[in-house]
A and B are shown apart, each in its own frame.
Chain A
């Protein structure tokens, strides 16, 4: 049932021979070995698997490979600038202690990037609402919200958008 599926992952165009019924998260983790995208549940409830599909955050445990044919996928491994520095969201999570065990973190960062892309001036309250699809059991969210607020400033200073 394998068939060629064209897509781009982290800026690289690939055509994969795969079963279109493969879950996107399985494809990323097992076929491409991009293990930064995590699986935390089986009910599309936790957001640990969040990636960007065409710039919008999506739960990759709930998407089939066949559905993203031709799309541009960005995972946590794909947001670091080529010069080895950190994306402002990554830097803000580190500066604000927005992570503890790190398991929810990649998904949280991808959701937060999407949030700021579309709501650059979000309030703390709005950030909370915007991240309610991502579970974190460690941080109590306080520092995650602070990190997103800090990243918003940094991203605006850098010229807005993501």
Chain B
């Protein structure tokens, strides 16, 4: 075994790429099972209506139809559970109305499924669904986030004022006191625009029942198949958990939208047994728009109190968050635990209070979307800091510097303790990379061409590595948030790693292999990563919240260390040395101070051919698993700088430069990390400039296709300048990793808007709401001119 350079820190090409670039990946819709049947869901065309009657006779008699089901058939099946319980300020639990698998009595959003048709082909299922006659009593809908709580109409009888909960965090009295002594107060009201995640692979599922084993297999586009199995088995369908296998094969992006347990796959599992055939459903994109969980959708007022030196004294936030028609799996924790706890940002603001009102509306459920609460917090904070700087005539960079947290660990007034960070370092490097010094000259050059140039900053922080289970439990989580891993060392010394962290673009099959190869001193080719199948992987909480390396990777390290510990025992026996004298490095067990050595592969072979082996004290085999529960969140942070050019005649914005400088702690594969930042930036810039989900007052989704919902395309975006500083490693996980998946989407929206406002401030513009489309900018400029 030759000594090899460590894999960690190297941009090795991805192991998983071959199958994707050759078209040989296996996504859910690629799977066709023997005797495959197909499903179509009839969806509500109304935002809010009582169902008087459903007549399925014609559909049932249509060609190819195998079965038609409605809520009546599903009687006895539970509603889809919510994974978080939030309590209101008055101590009462959140309103948790049932989320039925198929609509019961009422439909509550356009796209709400109310019948399932199973047929020989997808085409026949769809044709038959059109024959179902539903007698609706159409009701006025509740659509608008801000006014939902004062609507005369109730989405759910359980919540007559449409309020799910009113939650608060922080010391309100201390905040009030600080405001009364403030030299300056900056106020900011805004809407954080509702977004549609739109992974390019639509959601899909294929469910099969096997009478031979009385068990079910579900192939589904999921970020967390074990969670799907647990919720579906234990809370909805009453199937014994060990009789349900959930497989998430190749999944074409998730961004949060594939975390949740949705009605469609649940109905399919239930129906697969009744029909006696495997049933497949693949969403058409129009269905994805209507039925995937959406993101963001806050209406917020914030106030920042400052002293005469520009030091932040206190922050007061009041936000209303739209939950949509039903509580999706994680929904209540997004505007609370993931949003309000982030409001300190990178700043030593001594007092913060945040009130969050969550409301039901007749729109699709809203849940975590890339960043999940943290983009909303960061947007608020980084816009209000910029506004304050402008009002006080201070340089926005200088104002941030004055308020940076500089001593760690730092306990914020909103419940988190940052273990480590160096905000000055990422800020300094970002200013350099963005050539901020040259900005004034570039601005002059733009002005000579009749264009307005602006520069905008955002210094973000996020809490990743979700989450210490005990803390999460106190905050309302109804599940643990650890991660699990198993390392199976084969007799030849090759290793298969089973991880609960599903990969749907993140590159786990490479990054985790790099970690294991280094830890065991073996070649990268000798490590295979398996994920996404509850039949193979012992357990897993899944992939979201930038947790995979920090939590899932740590579980893998823990299991690898157990392998080494057992290997040392075996090697000591083989080498006839004391265990304490055997050292492991570079893939070999050595007796210290001698040339006696056993390679990792020799030790593995001995474990499976235990002829010369301490059988009385040690089991044969080399296979270990580990559960890792993090001690704290991790806190990636960085500075983003955006430079824009705006044409005041047309309102069109061009991003001229975008610089991202991040501290993700230790980095395993820089190429993959940069790719994650790029993708996040695209989604964040999309939110800032292009994307917005709109329902009209009837609750009809106006942005229901890629023709109406502006997704960022290649020519909408600039090249990115991305750098990861040699950062401050996380202090409490073995890899020192913090997480990088969401940073781009968190830090970029305020950087873009700050830049646009900077460009247009000389024309009298104080704020621009997202998305800053040409039309909106043009309107804003017209208003400012008046």
Segment of A52-60, A65-73, A127-135, A152-160 engaged in the interface with chain B:
A127-135
Please pick, from A37, A100, A134, A137, the residue contacting B675 in the complex, using a CB distance under 8 A: A100
Inter-subunit contact A95/B13 (CB<8 Å): yes
Which residue of chain A lies nearest to B250 when distances are taken between CB atoms in the complex? Answer: A102
Q: How far is the CB of A6 from chain B (nearest CB, A)?
A: 24
Within 8 A of A (CB), among B668-682: 671-672, 674-675, 678-682
Please pick, from B27, B200, B674, B675, the residue contacting A135 in the complex, using a CB distance under 8 A: B200
Inter-subunit contact B22/A101 (CB<8 Å): no
- A35-B30, A43-B285, A101-B251 as given contacts; A142 in contact with B683, CB under 8 Å: no
| Cα distance, A75 to B24, chains bound together (Å) | 12
- A101-B504, A109-B21 as given contacts; A137 in contact with B715, CB under 8 Å: no
| Cα distance, A38 to B27, chains bound together (Å) | 9
Asked if A113 lies at the interface with its beta carbon under 8 angstroms from chain B, I say no
Segment of B89-97, B306-314, B407-415, B705-713 engaged in the interface with chain A:
B705-713
Within 8 A of A (CB), among B15-34: 16-27, 29-30, 32
Within 8 A of B (CB), among A72-104: 75-77, 80, 86, 90, 93-95, 97, 99-104
Inter-subunit contact A93/B21 (CB<8 Å): yes
Inter-subunit contact B25/A143 (CB<8 Å): no
Please pick, from A33, A80, A132, the residue contacting B713 in the complex, using a CB distance under 8 A: A132
Please pick, from A38, A75, A76, A144, the residue contacting B714 in the complex, using a CB distance under 8 A: A144
Chain B positions within 8 Å of A36 at CB level: 22-25
Within 8 A of A (CB), among B196-230: 198-202
Which residue of chain B lies nearest to A75 when distances are taken between CB atoms in the complex? Answer: B23
Inter-subunit contact B719/A48 (CB<8 Å): no
Asked if B286 lies at the interface with its beta carbon under 8 angstroms from chain A, I say yes
Inter-subunit contact A103/B21 (CB<8 Å): no
Inter-subunit contact B21/A94 (CB<8 Å): yes
Inter-subunit contact A38/B252 (CB<8 Å): yes
Which residue of chain A lies nearest to B18 when distances are taken between CB atoms in the complex? Answer: A94
Please pick, from A80, A94, A100, the residue contacting B505 in the complex, using a CB distance under 8 A: A100
Asked if A116 lies at the interface with its beta carbon under 8 angstroms from chain B, I say no
Inter-subunit contact B705/A41 (CB<8 Å): yes
Chain B positions within 8 Å of A80 at CB level: 22
- A97-B675, A109-B21 as given contacts; A102 in contact with B202, CB under 8 Å: no
Within 8 A of A (CB), among B272-301: 282, 284-286
Chain A positions within 8 Å of B13 at CB level: 94-95, 97
Q: Mark A98-140, 1 if CB is under 8 A from B, else 0.
A: 0111111110010000000000000011011101101111111
Within 8 A of B (CB), among A20-69: 29-30, 33-43, 45-46, 48
Q: Which of B25, B27, B506, B744 has the most CB of A within 10 A?
A: B25
Inter-subunit contact A40/B285 (CB<8 Å): yes
| Cα distance, A74 to B505, chains bound together (Å) | 26
- A40-B202, A77-B23, A93-B17 as given contacts; A102 in contact with B252, CB under 8 Å: yes
Within 8 A of A (CB), among B688-739: 705-707, 711-715, 717, 719-720
Q: How far is the CB of A162 from chain B (nearest CB, A)?
A: 16
Q: How far is the CB of A42 from chain B (nearest CB, A)?
A: 5
Please pick, from A95, A104, A142, the residue contacting B200 in the complex, using a CB distance under 8 A: A104
Interface extent on A, as a size class?
35 or more
Chain B positions within 8 Å of A86 at CB level: 21-22
Please pick, from B16, B198, B251, B678, the residue contacting A139 in the complex, using a CB distance under 8 A: B678
Chain B positions within 8 Å of A106 at CB level: 20-21, 23
Asked if B14 lies at the interface with its beta carbon under 8 angstroms from chain A, I say yes
Chain B positions within 8 Å of A135 at CB level: 200, 706, 711, 713
Inter-subunit contact A103/B675 (CB<8 Å): no
| Cα distance, A39 to B286, chains bound together (Å) | 12
Q: Which of A38, A90, A97, A135 has the most CB of B within 10 A?
A: A97
Asked if B262 lies at the interface with its beta carbon under 8 angstroms from chain A, I say no
Inter-subunit contact A102/B682 (CB<8 Å): no
Chain A positions within 8 Å of B744 at CB level: 140
Inter-subunit contact A35/B23 (CB<8 Å): yes
Chain B positions within 8 Å of A99 at CB level: 17, 20-21
Q: How far is the CB of A39 from chain B (nearest CB, A)?
A: 7
Q: How far is the CB of A27 from chain B (nearest CB, A)?
A: 14
| Cα distance, A95 to B14, chains bound together (Å) | 9
Asked if B253 lies at the interface with its beta carbon under 8 angstroms from chain A, I say yes
27 contacts between A and B (CB under 8 A): A33-B32, A35-B23, A35-B30, A39-B202, A42-B705, A43-B285, A43-B707, A45-B705, A45-B706, A48-B200, A80-B22, A93-B17, A94-B13, A94-B14, A94-B17, A100-B253, A101-B504, A102-B21, A103-B200, A124-B719, A134-B714, A137-B711, A139-B675, A140-B682, A140-B712, A141-B717, A143-B678
Per CB-CB distance, the 3 closest pairs between chain A and chain B, nearest first, are: A36-B23, A102-B20, A103-B252
> A134-B714, A137-B679 given. 14 additional CB < 8 A pairs?
A35-B23, A39-B282, A42-B284, A48-B200, A75-B23, A77-B22, A93-B21, A99-B17, A100-B507, A101-B252, A101-B505, A103-B201, A132-B715, A137-B682
